[in-house]
Amino acid sequence: MFDIQKKLATRSEEILHDEFGISSKVSFDIPRDTSHGDLTSSIALEVSRPIKKKPQEVAEKIISGIQSMDGVSSATIAGAGYVNVTLTSSALLSGLSSVRETCEPKKASKKSAPVIIEYSQPNIAKPLGVHHLLSTIIGQALSNLYRHLGENVLAWNYIGDWGTQFGKLSVAYELWGKEKPVSSYSLDELLSLYVRFHEEAEKDASLEEKAREASKKLEEGDKTLRQFWKDVIAITKTSLAELYQRLHVSFDLNLGESFYEDKMEPVLQEGIKKKVFKEGEQGALIAEFSEETKMPPYVIRRSDGGTLYSTRDIAQMRYRIDTYHPKAMYILTDVAQKLHFEQLIATCLQLGWELPEFENVLVPRMRFAEKSMSTRKGNILKLEEVLDEAVKRAESLIEEKASDIQGKEREELADMVGIGAVAYGIVSQNRKMEMVFDWKKILTFEGNSAPYLQYTHARACSVLRKAEAKKDIALKKVSDDLALEKGERDLALTLLRFERVLLMTQKDRMPHILSQYLYELSQVFNAFYHTCPILDASEPVRTLRLFLTSLTARVLSTGASILTLRVPERM
């Protein structure tokens, strides 16, 4: 909120109190439709019914009290009772200093309670599949956003490095893979062994029992299996690090399921003592819920004494609460995990634990526009292959634009555009709806795409280079005698929405809100570029337009960075 917004809100609250005897919070927002003025408020509609007055009557009182304020050019009633305000040129442009501040990351206090954001969650011994993109990219975007807004973030990758998958892989290695040490295997070779196990298990059911036995021995500390397990983890983490680097994804903690090996028994005993965990069918340990919840029993421990994903998740909740005392915890998962987390939280509450703010931030399944992308090797469409294809297609797209960028810079640009297109193709879609992966939509210089945003940023930088202007141009106080053209006013108002968009994106944990804003900003800037000559304008208009261009580039760069994208200065 910039200065004039605060003053208008405060004055309107005073008017409501003095004229109608009520205390009500007022806000003046920047409308997306600029025909509604520079600022608008629906407060008259909101309070009219409780005070038994017509909205227009309330709006008239507010207008009479604000229209003579400094910075207000005009105030009018619109529709059923909206208060629309048009600002003077100086008031509007002076507010842009707040946009500069919004572009600067706020420093988090190390003493403040952290926000834990968990995402990606790959399984050991398997390559990252394209389906991991959703949790990984959306999670990183939220982590970036919370950090930017000054939160003390703990980005957590909860790796699936425990459980029956190791039993299966160890059996497969003993039967078909001992011609070389496991430490010399590639991740693809490990996947092939895992796939073969499932193929052979369909013919020989005893293999599943052998895998369970091996898994139990691993939990009991068998030295040979422990070394096998460590080798497999090392291979996987090396491969993951390379992919995460390509995606500009990073974590503060990589504590996987195995970390909770010695932390499960205490919570199991607590649950038994409190009679929350009870014996179920065949001796398994379960938690039950009331009929109203319509949730099935939550299996906490297998009948053979082996632990489960649920056991480790309960131990993880206890560990995170006791160790970090977080103010909030957001865990990003596929929609298929919804029931699991509902059961987990219900179980923690039955245990009497005091929980931080919690949300299982759900991401949808992905559908592919091209049938060929659904052809999976080892039931995985490998993310690495998708990224390689994206860079290849980006190179062709750059070639079509007849770019004069060559050599290493060209390679870096293709990587920036290709990887950015894939990432933006995720964060630009509403995560509460089915996501569609479509090469034609994500790799284009038209529409809501990464290349369009990147091209707009490069265009703004090009203007600044030609003007030999700094990227961070200062704007002196503008006289109200300077009448702003529509393109200038539209761009200024769009830039002023940036802070509110970041806060809305944070509140709903929906990165597509920020994506949509950056797309709209790009559209408004390109319209401004075509209708308002920049370099050929006379002063003080030239400086004003260069300032707007500079600030646009900065907002695009800041927003793109939050969404894991890089933006080039040349294309």
The C-alpha atoms of residue 546 and residue 540 are separated, in whole angstroms, by 10
Contact 408, 393 (CB under 8 A): no
Residues 6+ apart with CB under 8 A from 385: none
Q: What is the amino acid identity at position 298?
A: Y
Contact 48, 55 (CB under 8 A): yes
Secondary element (H or E) of residue 86: strand 82-87
- Tell me: pLDDT of 21 over 70: yes
Compute CA distances 177 → 167, 224, 556, whole Å: 14, 15, 51
Contact 218, 225 (CB under 8 A): yes
Q: Helix count (H) and strand count (E) of the chain?
A: 21, 12
Q: What is the 3-state secondary structure (H, E, C) of 293-340?
A: HCCCCEEEECCCCCECHHHHHHHHHHHHHHHHCCCEEEEEEEHHHHHH
Compute CA distances 150 → 35, 49, 191, 406, 450, whole Å: 34, 39, 41, 39, 26
**Per-residue pLDDT tens digits for 78-110:** 988 999 999 999 999 988 988 999 999 999 887
- Supply the DSSP symbol for 363: E
The C-alpha atoms of residue 102 and residue 504 are separated, in whole angstroms, by 14
- Tell me: pLDDT of 377 over 60: no
- Supply the DSSP symbol for 362: E
- Tell me: pLDDT of 554 over 80: yes
Residue-range domains of the chain with CATH? 3-87 (3.30.1360.70), 115-366 (3.40.50.620), 382-562 (1.10.730.10)
The C-alpha atoms of residue 32 and residue 405 are separated, in whole angstroms, by 37
Contact 133, 390 (CB under 8 A): no
Secondary element (H or E) of residue 220: helix 206-220
Residue 65: phi, psi to the nearest 5? -90, -15
Tokens coding 486: 């529509």
Contact 348, 317 (CB under 8 A): yes
Question: What's the order of all strands across the beta sheet hosting 285-287?
Answer: 277-279, 285-287, 298-301
Contact 393, 439 (CB under 8 A): yes
Residues 6+ apart with CB under 8 A from 221: none
**Per-residue pLDDT tens digits for 399-442:** 887 778 888 999 999 999 999 999 999 999 999 999 998 999 99
- The pLDDT mean for the chain works out to 92
DSSP β-bridge partners for residue 363: 334
- Supply the DSSP symbol for 372: G
3-state secondary structure of 368: strand
For range 358-374, the mean pLDDT? 83
Give the pTM: 0.92
Phi-psi region of 467 (alpha: psi -120 to 50; beta: other; left: phi over 0): alpha
**Per-residue pLDDT tens digits for 181-232:** 999 999 989 989 998 999 999 999 999 999 989 988 988 899 999 999 999 9
Report which of 443, 400, 485, 368 is spatially closest to residue 131, judged by C-alpha positions. 368
The DSSP string of 45-75 is HHHHHHHT--HHHHHHHHHHHHTTSTTEEEE
Contact 452, 519 (CB under 8 A): yes
The C-alpha atoms of residue 571 and residue 564 are separated, in whole angstroms, by 19
- Tell me: pLDDT of 546 over 60: yes
**Per-residue pLDDT tens digits for 33-59:** 877 889 999 999 999 989 999 999 999
Residue 328: phi, psi to the nearest 5? -155, 155
Report which of 440, 452, 531, 517 is spatially closest to residue 484, judged by C-alpha positions. 531
3-state secondary structure of 548: helix
Contact 244, 564 (CB under 8 A): no
For range 375-387, the mean pLDDT? 72
For range 133-158, the mean pLDDT? 97
**Per-residue pLDDT tens digits for 278-296:** 998 888 999 999 999 999 9
Q: How confident is the model at residue 376 (pLDDT cuts 50, 70, 90)?
A: very low
Q: What is the amino acid identity at position 526?
A: N
- Supply the DSSP symbol for 265: H
Q: What is the amino acid identity at position 251?
A: F
> Which percentage of the chain shows pLDDT scores above 70?
98
> Which percentage of the chain shows pLDDT scores above 90?
76
pLDDT at 251: 97
The DSSP string of 154-212 is EEE---B-SSHHHHHHHHHHHHH-TTS-GGG--HHHHHHHHHHHHHHHTT-THHHHHHH
Residue 74: phi, psi to the nearest 5? -160, 155
Tokens coding 487: 């393109």
**Per-residue pLDDT tens digits for 167-178:** 999 999 999 999
The answer, yes or no, to whether the previous bond of 540 is cis (omega within 30 of 0) is yes
